[in-house]
């Protein structure tokens, strides 16, 4: 299970979630979708990986995330 928050603060509980940048998450979501990776469309939802995902699926997802971070100027 995985969750990404766009904020400069630690998010360790639901009360801290409002400190996140939902607009930035939306950009991230849209760019991943353009690259063929679908994640939950809200920052409040977690990602789930399972044995149904192959090593190639995970590599493609990792590449898409890296490209997306570069596209929206995260790294």
Backbone phi, then psi, for 3, in 5-degree steps?
-145, 135
CATH value of 14-71 in 1.10.630.10, 3.40.120.10, 3.90.1150.10, 1.10.8.60:
3.90.1150.10
- pLDDT number for residue 38: 93
- pLDDT number for residue 42: 86
The candidate with the shortest Cα–Cα distance to 45, out of 73, 70, 14, is 14
Helix axes 22-34, 55-71, angle to 10 degrees: 130
- pLDDT number for residue 35: 97
- pLDDT number for residue 36: 96
DSSP character at residue 65? H
DSSP character at residue 52? T
Element (H, E) at 64: helix 55-71
Three-state DSSP class for 47? strand
Place of tokens 């063929």: 36
- pLDDT number for residue 75: 61
Question: Where exactly are the structural domains of the chain?
Answer: 14-71
Q: What confidence category does residue 6 fall into, taking pLDDT thresholds of 50, 70 and 90? A: confident
Q: pLDDT, tens digit, for every residue of 16-74? A: 777 778 889 999 999 999 999 999 888 888 889 899 999 999 999 999 999 999 998 87
């Amino acid at each position: 299970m995985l969750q990404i928050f766009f904020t400069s603060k630690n998010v360790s509980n639901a009360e801290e979630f409002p400190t996140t940048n939902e607009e930035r998450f939306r950009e991230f979501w849209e760019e991943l979708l353009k690259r063929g990776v679908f994640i939950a469309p809200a920052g409040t939802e977690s990602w789930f990986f399972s044995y149904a995902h192959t090593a190639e699926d995970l590599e493609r997802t990792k590449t898409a995330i890296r490209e997306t971070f570069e596209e929206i100027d995260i790294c």
